[in-house]
């Protein structure tokens, strides 16, 4: 690792710590040339597939959008943050395990609906009513009847 102070390449790791969430590693380093200390952070570089929208555009996957969609559907529902985090982790794990470079947005929507159905039936219906763009009340009734079974 190159020293940010003098540019020398010979640096030594003095201390290593894993974050509380275990999602990154913090390393204290010392430069062998100027003897100054600095901190580096090591995080996994995860490449999610690009999202292909209905109109054919390709956009980068954004975890914040997934979280916002779930939060909106679950608004004022008795679902814990831990449960939401678990659902997000399962969806993102599926995205990574697909091993594809692109995924249609409707497939992500279906994954979200499956997770919401497990978490909260009302949130599932909220999300589905927007996601599937119901044209009439009969489509909505069919969904509600499906959830009741």
**67 and 131 part of one domain:** yes
Predicted confidence band at 110 (pLDDT cuts at 50, 70, 90)?
very high
**37 and 64 part of one domain:** no
**What's the Cα-to-Cα distance from 34 to each of 1, 30, 37, rounded to whole Å?**
14, 9, 9
**Residue 109 near residue 131, CB atoms below 8 Å:** yes
Q: Report the distance separating Cα 103 and Cα 117, nearest Å.
A: 22
Residue 136 confidence (pLDDT):
76
**Residue 70 near residue 88, CB atoms below 8 Å:** yes
Does residue 66 belong to any structural domain of this protein? yes
| Per-residue pLDDT at 138 exceeds 90 | no
Boundaries of domain holding 38: 11-42
Average pLDDT for 11-18: 95
pLDDT digits (tens, 9 = 90+) for 119-132: 999 998 888 888 77
**Span of 59-63, 75-79, 122-126 with lowest mean pLDDT:** 122-126
Residue 62 confidence (pLDDT):
93
Does residue 113 belong to any structural domain of this protein? yes
Does residue 2 belong to any structural domain of this protein? no
**121 and 142 part of one domain:** yes
Mean pLDDT over the full length of the chain? 91
**21 and 60 part of one domain:** no
Q: How many domains does the chain have?
A: 2
Does residue 122 belong to any structural domain of this protein? yes
Identify the residue with better confidence: 6 or 148.
6
**Residue 77 near residue 116, CB atoms below 8 Å:** no
**DSSP secondary structure of 69-97:** HHHHHTTTSS--HHHHHHHHHHHHHHHHH
Of 65, 64, 75, whose CA–CA distance to 119 is shortest?
75
pTM of the model: 0.67
**86 and 106 part of one domain:** yes
| Per-residue pLDDT at 31 exceeds 90 | yes
Does residue 3 belong to any structural domain of this protein? no
Predicted confidence band at 139 (pLDDT cuts at 50, 70, 90)?
confident
């Amino acid at each position: 690792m190159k020293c940010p102070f003098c540019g020398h390449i010979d640096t030594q790791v003095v201390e290593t710590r894993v974050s509380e969430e275990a999602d990154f590693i913090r390393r204290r380093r010392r430069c062998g040339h100027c003897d100054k200390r600095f901190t580096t952070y090591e995080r996994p570089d995860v490449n999610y597939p690009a999202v292909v929208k209905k109109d054919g555009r390709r956009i980068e996957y954004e975890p914040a959008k997934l979280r916002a969609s779930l939060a909106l559907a679950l608004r004022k529902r008795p679902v814990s943050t831990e449960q939401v985090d678990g659902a997000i982790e399962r969806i993102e794990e599926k995205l990574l395990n697909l091993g594809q470079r692109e995924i249609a947005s409707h497939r992500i929507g279906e994954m979200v609906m499956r997770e919401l159905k497990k978490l909260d039936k009302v949130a599932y219906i909220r999300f589905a009513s927007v996601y599937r763009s119901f044209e009439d009340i009969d489509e909505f009734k069919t969904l509600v009847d499906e959830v009741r079974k």
